[in-house]
Amino acid sequence: MRALVTGGGGFLGSHLVRALVARGHAVRVLARGDYPDLVALGVVVERADLRDEAAVTAAARGVDTVFHVAAKAGGWGDPREFESINVAGTENVVAACKSEGVPRLVYTSSPSVVHAHHDIEGGDESLPYAPHFIAHYPRTKALAEQVVLAASRDGLRTVSLRPHFIWGPGDQHLLPRLVARAKAGRLRQIGDRDPLTDTTYIDNCVDAHLLADAALATRAAISGRAYFISDDSPVGVFTMARRMLAAVDGGDVGPSVPVWAAYALGGALEAVHALLRLGREPLITRFAVSELTHAQWFDISAAKRDLGYKPQVTIDDGLARLRSAHAARATPPSPSGASGEPRGG
């Protein structure tokens, strides 16, 4: 198979690329950076922006499947940037698939597209899109998902996956931020609840993408559908944060603050950042507060039935792998010669 992975240099994208290469597939990556480690694997890296329609079209030429992973994430920012990357960029990907005759498109969406600021416990794909959004990320992901699923009516086979809380070794965003805030004493529990949430270990998420592509190749009936993906083992959101921090010696979650205070602070910080045109995301946002204080776990029966998906890595096993990866990075190399034999003294 010849595959294109947008955002192939990111956390999920790079793991997906490596899995594809390991299976003997020819892989092309569309990303804004340089990734010599992927090039060393034989991957073709096309350095371009999703907003460049011609570049996206050229990258899609001659491939069998596009895995559209790239997106602008975050709980705050310029709405125009979210729209141009997440919506217009996805429209460019869909248009490229159509013009170049790419048969399959697997899109990485988010459960936040249905998050309406109340608990979701065992919800499935019959849940409607949220009627309103307090952040541009879920809003634009919902719009982009609709673009992808609607394209199935034009003959392009599409599937949208909604993995929640992707985690594991190699994460350069979520876990490092948790660690930095915990060690600075700025990571707090919000409210007195520990609402259940879904998580998705990185290898499980990669498996879901590969299975979705395989299912699309043989079962046209699943085209145009969205699927929730998870480790199928809901856990308290603050419990999971504490377990991840413990696995990397990253500190702990501090005492709780009231939900209303955190939400008010998030709104105030968003207003200040907008007024002063600060580019960085606020310390806390209303979207983050809502995500952390509501239960979000889903019934993944549809993914099991239609895609053959079954999580292969449990949370306990994933934490053990995270701990091992951290220990390997933290252990300094032993003084040895090129042969690996200890140097004599």
Q: For residue 171, what is the DSSP state?
A: -
Out of 35, 107, 129, 137, the active site residue is: 137
Model confidence over 47-61: pLDDT tens digits?
A: 999 999 999 999 999
Q: In the prediction, which pLDDT does 341 show?
A: 31
Average pLDDT taken over every residue of the chain: 93
- Measured CA distances, 81 to 57, 84, 101, 140, 143 (Å): 21, 5, 29, 10, 14
Active site annotation includes 137: yes
pLDDT class of 45 with cuts at 50, 70, 90? very high
Alpha carbon distance 295, 196 (integer Å): 5
Alpha carbon distance 86, 90 (integer Å): 6
Which of 25, 11, 52, 26 is closest to 205 using CA atoms? 11
CATH number, domain 2-326, options 3.40.1190.10, 3.40.50.720, 3.40.470.10, 3.40.190.170 = 3.40.50.720
DSSP assignments along 215-262, one per residue:
HHHH-GGGTTEEEEE--S--EEHHHHHHHHHHHTT----EEEE-HHHH
Q: What is the pTM of this model?
A: 0.93
Domain boundaries, given as residue ranges, for the chain: 2-326
Q: Which amino acid is at 99?
A: S
Question: Contact 230/297 with Cβ under 8 angstroms?
Answer: yes
Q: Is residue 144 scored above 90 in pLDDT? A: yes
Q: Is residue 343 scored above 60 in pLDDT? A: no
Lowest mean pLDDT among 175-184, 188-197, 244-253, 328-337: 328-337
Model confidence over 167-211: pLDDT tens digits?
A: 999 998 899 999 999 999 999 999 999 999 999 999 999 999 999
